[in-house]
Amino acid sequence: MRVNSVILAIAMALLTLDAVAQQPPSAQPFDFRGNHLGTSLVELKAKYSGQTNSEKLECSDEPIPAELEQAFRQSDEILRSNGIKPSKRPFEGFREAGITRCSTRIDIGGRLVFNFVDGKLAAMRVVFSGSQFSDLAEGLKKKWGEPTKTEVREYQNGFGAKREGLILWWNNGVSRIELRQYDGILDASKLEITDSVLYPEFQRREPKDIPEV
């Protein structure tokens, strides 16, 4: 009787281990060029600390260069003297909201923008040369498999020229990739990679009517 109980216990333990082994691994957030959603702002700055010139990482939590601050003040004075309210500064209110934006230039013809909330990477996006779209799409398929969803949309420029463009989505439950063949203009594409929890919080906190830089 006792032997049977031991055998039964061992069998149940083996079944439990087998069931755990067969469970699919939990999904990990998407990454792009070694930059992982959820990584810390400190880690990202350390990664890019050796870059110089156009590839240098620029962040909203850094002091504004003295010459740029002086230009802002002069512009504000001119506007006030003409009875016009000065416009908001780039990244105004970001620090108070607990969000940060950084960017660096990359080799596909645009700046890779990083959006952080509470020091964690919530999203990455880049508007890049449309000539690079096919290569980037194939690279994403090779790494992440076929898109979760594909859509074809018609675009039109200011001169009336129309063209169909692809939009590809990948979604693994914890993050999403959106790749647009055309981003408003017919010669630019856009890639956006977002964390399903962190990015909505970034959007909620982001101050409105802030000029892009």
The pTM of the full predicted model, rounded to 2 decimals, is: 0.77
Q: Are 117 and 205 in contact (CB under 8 A)?
A: yes
Domain ranges of the chain: 27-205
Q: Are 178 and 165 in contact (CB under 8 A)?
A: no
Burial, 179: exposed, middle or buried (Cβ in 10 Å; 0-12, 13-18, 19+)?
buried
What does the longest C-alpha to C-alpha distance in the chain come to? 97
Instruction: Name every residue whose Cβ is closer than 8 Å to that of residue 7 and which is 6 or more positions away in sequence.
Output: none
Q: What is the pLDDT along the chain (213 residues), one digit of tens a residue?
A: 454 554 544 545 444 444 434 434 568 999 999 999 999 999 999 999 877 776 789 999 887 655 655 655 666 676 567 777 656 667 888 999 999 999 999 988 789 999 999 999 999 999 999 999 999 999 999 999 999 999 998 877 667 777 788 999 999 999 999 999 988 777 899 999 999 999 999 999 999 877 665
